[in-house]
Amino acid sequence: MDGVKSDQIILALDVDTAEEALSWAKRFRGKIGTFKVGLQLYLRNGVDVLTGLQRLEVPVFLDLKFHDIPQTVGQAVRAVSHWAPRFLTVHASGGQEMMESAVSHAAKETSVLGVTLLTSLSEEAVRAGGWKGGVNETVGCLSELARKAGLAGVVCSPHEASKERSAWGAVAEIVTPGVRPPGTLADDQARSKSASEAIDAGASRIVVGRPILKASNPEAVLEAILSGRG
């Protein structure tokens, strides 16, 4: 299996404080392509974190997964656009018009990505939620809406990466969280694969959080991912 390039890795900064987040970013700056700020960190200390990451001049993935009426999402995207994040997420289930509004309010440096189905949702959970077509059909429909809305790509599980790559063509962003090195804990991820399997399947980037943040030797985990063993 081929290795994974450092630029293809997104580190999920799922920690509580700006200090912790910035120390991870300093530790892995230049070794990991992008640093992801999600709700946990943004709601506690978003301004400090984003200011600090901007000072470190590292690309930021602002993963706030907006989902509301088009006007509200557009204004939310506008409210964060001065940070000029490299990536920003919206829930594709918010509909085409909502996604179009996000794209039209985003900074020019920002690629808006559509979250199809959360990688924590199993087949049963998806059907129980009313998506009677199950994971594959639902991801396919949501992803088509994202394409029509002019998004730069989608977030999906590694299991859907190959189908999504065929649907989107070569240049789109297919970002896959739910990445787990072989033999490690799945945590709450229900549809996971290893990093190199995700890239081989067509992902352009992978999101990794707990496998690095909770490791006794995070550098060794990164090394394993880069060399195709993770």
| Residues with catalytic function | 65
Nearer to ligand C5P among residue 71 and residue 182 (C-beta)? 182
Query: By C-alpha distance, which of 70, 201, 135, 123 is closest to 78?
Result: 70
Q: Alpha-carbon distance 98 to 77, whole Å?
A: 11
The residue behind tokens 């991801």 is 139
Q: Is 210 in the site for ligand C5P (CB under 6 A)?
A: yes
Closer of 108 and 216 to ligand C5P (Cβ): 216
The stretch near ligand C5P (CB under 6 A) out of 70-78, 80-88, 132-140, 202-210 is 202-210
Question: Which residues in the 129-168 window bind ligand C5P by CB under 6 A?
Answer: 155
Q: How far is the CB of 18 from ligand C5P (least distance, A)?
A: 17
How far, in Å, are 119, 125, 128, 136 from residue 132 at the CA level? 17, 10, 8, 11
Instruction: Give the nearest residue (CB) to ligand C5P.
Output: 209
The letter for the amino acid at 64 is L
- How many other CB atoms are found less than 10 A from the CB of residue 48? 15
Which amino acid makes up residue 147? R
Please give the residues from 82 up to 121 whose contact with ligand C5P meets the rule CB under 6 A: 115, 118-119
Closest contact distance (angstroms) between CB of 139 and ligand C5P is 10
Binding mask 19-58 for ligand C5P (x = CB under 6 A): -------------------x--------------------
DSSP at 31 = T
Give the interface with ligand C5P as residue ranges (CB under 6 A).
12, 14, 38, 115, 118-119, 155, 177-178, 187, 189, 207-211
